[in-house]
Amino acid sequence: MSLPVPNLDDRRFQDLVDDAKRHIQRHCPEWTDHNVSDPGVTLVEAMAQMVDQLLYRLNRVPDKLYVKFLDLIGVQLFPPAAAICDVTFWLAAPRDTAVTVPADTRVSTRRHDRHDRAVVFSTTRDLVIPPTKVTHAIAVGAGGDPNAPSTRHILHDITSDGARCFGTPPRAGDSFVVGLDRPAPSCAVLLRIGSEIEGIGVDPEDPPLAWEAYDGFEWLPCELDRDSTGGMNRPGEVVLHVPARHHMAVLGGESAAWIRCRVTEPGPDQPFYSASPMVKRLQAMTLGATTGAVHAEIVRNEVIGVSEGVAGQRFRVAKAPIVSAGTDMVIEVSGPDGWERWQERIGFGRLGPDDKAFTLDPTLGEISFGPTVRLEDGSARQYGAIPPKGASIRVPEYRSGGGAAGNVSARSLTMLQTPIPYIGRVENRLPAEGGVDGEDIENAKERGPIRLRALGRAVTPQDYVHLAHREAPEAARIHCVPSDADNGVRVLVVPAAASDEHGRLDFETLVPPEEMLQRIAHVLEQRRTVGARVVVEPPVYHGITVVCRLRARHKIDEPRVRLIAQRTLYRYLHPILGGHDGDGWTFGQAVHLADVFAILQKVREVEAIEEVKIFPADPITGARGEESDRIDIGRDGLVFSYHHQVRVESAGL
């Protein structure tokens, strides 16, 4: 139990007025008019109001001292984390020469009015969009070797009658392999195919085909953007997003950058080919490329000051806060032989006077050099090296920005703020994720005693959560539960994920990146108690589907009521923003039909709730379970809204 904070003066406005009136009666008994309308009373109340404000400020002193104590034990506010996403740059038209999109190219969301603020992302590396063309085309049978002599090089067999790209009849595993003159890593490649309806039996809207690219060792899946060929059955275009590991390789005795269309095993209700499609023409070109972008401004080669040659110097960057780039920060100090690199460290406790290191407060953007400490015997010890007097100090690169506002939905980044020749449009095909607002002082006050008590060791569940949050502040929620094994704990990580305009979440965005899980596991492994086994993983998500029938209030549009009711359900049954307090559904809390009924009753546009049903649903397959009044969630589980169905009836029915 924490110690109570003293109230230095508990008098309020009315207490001050009453005290003043008692003093007036004692020292000036001839003044008897104490009505509220009396000018003297008005003056007394004005002074009491001012003193009341002074007392309020005085009572803030214990909070200030508490925060200062947190600063002395090294508690720093967690900085914001920047959202990241992949951005695709589309060419206005195919080019015969390469087009380069330089690093730091800025893209943003569209502003809908003058009060709206655009969310700006910056690309993290140079992007080259090379031209491509077809050089080879090979037909490979199921289980066949493309380097075998029997492999058909159909590009040379294409005549006015065309050439078959699969076997006769086609089998699962048959491949149509296309060779490009150069690799197209992370590029959007268009294949223009001329063909006729020869692949009889296949559903043109759902052909059993998979597109893949070769990296020299294995075939990697390509993302299919669009396919107007109906399974290679009619003239059309196939646009593929090629993976980043696309390389030149030798197949069929020919060197090229290979892409293939492979026949897959048909699904339960999926029609299959009875004859092979006939290819008559084949052409390839590059339409665009994809690169990573971060919700931050990338600042390079900023000079932050000149050293005075003394210990304990501090410098600040121009644009705080600094968001993590995934690696330790580096600064450069000028010297006779050029710029010398200094490394970031957590503290100076183990450093000697020759260790070129510094510490960083990312929230303030402050860089600190080591202090000189006077020892008991009167000598002094220097922790960390001191930059020479007159040396310039610069930061080669840092990122400024971040926050939850960067978790934009898919296809929101459509504005190109940095003009690039030959680029027609830009988009993010998937939502941005990972953006988290910086920590506030109230949360730091709660965290300070935990840090002081744990001393960097993981013993209690709160210790595990605290250390995991410190290592991965971009995570939206972290929870610790005992595992089924003896002396084991499970650390459950929920990444920051963006909802769409209706409050829905894509289930894929709730899976934390493997890099984040490994980073947390590495830190906890070093700080766990002896014999404890730690597992870091996402929680078990339980899909919930609500089916309800509502009656709208008089003169309120039914579509509007349906939209509001759906938003309410998606918001309530939300793993990050849901629950009664709006800070995420409680781990392990069961879903009750009565709670769903109660949350719908709060919708002002609803006149009456006719019927409500809740079903468990598999968030991956979508399979719905049996209707229930209560859906239990394990202690390691969280709810996930899956396709709520709302039917609204007019008030007159």
Q: Would 75 be classed as within a structural domain? A: no
Report how far residue 522's alpha carbon sits from residue 527's, in angstroms, rounded to the nearest whole number.
9
> What element of type H or E holds 35?
none
Tens of pLDDT, residues 397-432: 888 888 888 888 888 999 999 889 999 999 998 888
> Which of 537, 558, 587 is a domain's end point?
537
Residue listed under structure tokens 């002081």: 452
Judgement on whether residues 223 and 189 belong to the same structural domain of the protein: yes
Chain-wide mean pLDDT for the chain? Answer: 84
Q: Would 20 be classed as within a structural domain? A: yes
Judgement on whether residues 157 and 202 belong to the same structural domain of the protein: yes
Tens of pLDDT, residues 469-481: 878 877 888 999 8
Judgement on whether residues 427 and 380 belong to the same structural domain of the protein: no
Residue 384 reports pLDDT greater than 60: yes
Gyration radius (Cα) of the chain, Å: 33
Judgement on whether residues 18 and 123 belong to the same structural domain of the protein: no
Coil, strand or helix at 627: coil
Where is average pLDDT lowest: 186-195, 226-235, 480-489? 480-489
Judgement on whether residues 280 and 322 belong to the same structural domain of the protein: no
Identity of the residue numbered 180: L
Q: Would 442 be classed as within a structural domain? A: no
Judgement on whether residues 26 and 110 belong to the same structural domain of the protein: no
Q: Is pTM, for the whole model, over 0.85?
A: no
Judgement on whether residues 189 and 207 belong to the same structural domain of the protein: yes
* Mean pLDDT (whole number) for 377-389: 90
- How many domains, the chain? 5
Q: What does the angle CA 278 – CA 256 – CA 292 come to, to the nearest 5 degrees?
A: 100
Judgement on whether residues 554 and 640 belong to the same structural domain of the protein: yes
Judgement on whether residues 282 and 429 belong to the same structural domain of the protein: yes
Contact (Cβ atoms closer than 8 angstroms) between residue 547 and residue 613: yes
Q: Would 4 be classed as within a structural domain? A: no
> Which of 498, 518, 537 is a domain's end point?
537
Where is average pLDDT lowest: 18-22, 353-357, 359-363? 18-22
Q: Of 444, 537, 516, 435, give the one whose Cα is nearest residue 476.
A: 435
Q: Would 388 be classed as within a structural domain? A: yes
Judgement on whether residues 193 and 315 belong to the same structural domain of the protein: no
> Which of 515, 537, 559 is a domain's end point?
537
Judgement on whether residues 127 and 251 belong to the same structural domain of the protein: yes
CATH number of the domain that residue 489 is part of:
3.30.300
Q: Of 220, 230, 244, give the one whose Cα is nearest residue 88.
A: 244
Judgement on whether residues 239 and 289 belong to the same structural domain of the protein: yes
Q: Would 7 be classed as within a structural domain? A: no
Which structural domain range is residue 379 located in? 296-401
Q: Would 74 be classed as within a structural domain? A: no
Report how far residue 441's alpha carbon sits from residue 619's, in angstroms, rounded to the nearest whole number.
37
For residue 511, give both structure tokens. Answer: 């899976």
Share of the chain above pLDDT 70, in %: 91
Q: Would 416 be classed as within a structural domain? A: yes
